[in-house]
Amino acid sequence: MKVVGINASHRRESNSGLMLSTALEICSAKGFEVEQIDLWDKEISYCVVCGLCGKKYGCSQDDDVMDILDKLAEADAILVATPTYFGGISGRLKSLFDRTLPLRRNKMMLSGKIGAAFAVGGSRNGGQEYTIQQIHAWMLIHEMAVVGDKKTAHFGGICTARNAGDALKDEVGMQTVINTAENLCARLSSLARG
């Protein structure tokens, strides 16, 4: 089974990337195939509402998005990690989410996949929970099954960190990342057992 992670930070070195790679390492250690997709170096245009994806699985725009959608379609679980920007997800992630319409319009290609969310903000209460709920909304609109971290923050992985790398100093936050990844692996394993 495969776990695909999206790192929605806009910068090369990032807290979102660290949180995601920590979660993916846990999934890998449990025997799952993993892949990390970093959005900071991807070309992601806005949805232009051309309607082509209502006719077939595809997009009129020639950028990096269809490659990402193909990887999401093949995944059994999807992790999304984002910085908190003005109390919500990063702009790149919002653009990508809007561009996932071909997956929904063509037989709900993400339906039944397991999803989990991670958010980091520079402030202790800077909107990370709202940000995670925005990711959960995207997952639910795709009919995915959402998991949280169960015993710590409840909603998923939440860190407080401003400078890149500081997330690792937030021990309580990193525990929510670890718990979310372990919870997701447990759910995937029970699916594999049938």
Ligand X SMILES: Cc1cc2nc3c(=O)[nH]c(=O)nc-3n(C[C@H](O)[C@H](O)[C@H](O)COP(=O)(O)O)c2cc1C
DSSP code for 5: E
Residue selected from 16, 22, 134, 179 as contacting ligand X according to rule CB under 6 A: 16
Task: For residue 134, state whether it binds ligand X (rule: CB under 6 A).
Answer: no
Residue 171 Cβ vs ligand X, minimum distance, rounded to whole Å: 16
- Using the rule CB under 6 A, which residue among 47, 59, 161, 174 binds ligand X? 161
Cα three-residue angle 65-88-17, rounded to 5 degrees: 60
- Asked if residue 11 binds ligand X (CB under 6 A), the reply is yes
CA distance 15 to 9: 8
Exactly one of 5, 102, 115, 121 binds ligand X (CB under 6 A); that residue is 121
Question: Which value, in Å, is the radius of gyration of the alpha carbons in the chain?
Answer: 16
Q: Which stretch binds ligand X (CB under 6 A): 43-51, 70-78, 121-129, 175-183?
A: 121-129
Which residue of 5, 83, 115, 157 would you call a contact of ligand X, by CB under 6 A? 83
- Would you list the DSSP string of 97-144? HHHTHHHHHTT-TTTT-EEEEEEEESSTTSSHHHHHHHHHHHHHHTT-
Chain position carrying tokens 């992601």: 44
Is 156 among the residues that bind ligand X (CB under 6 A)? Answer: no
Structure token pair of residue 5? 């992670």
Interface residue with ligand X, options 9, 22, 100, 176 (CB under 6 A): 9
Does the protein bind ligand X through residue 91 (CB under 6 A)? no
Comparison of 115 and 173: residue with beta carbon closer to ligand X: 173
CB proximity list for 36: less than 8 A, separation 6 or greater: 4, 5, 7, 17, 20, 21, 24
By CB under 6 A, how many residues form the interface with ligand X? Answer: 19
SS3 at position 31: coil
CB of 101 to ligand X, least distance (A): 26
- Binding region for ligand X (CB under 6 A): 9, 11, 14-16, 83-87, 120-123, 126-127, 161-162, 164
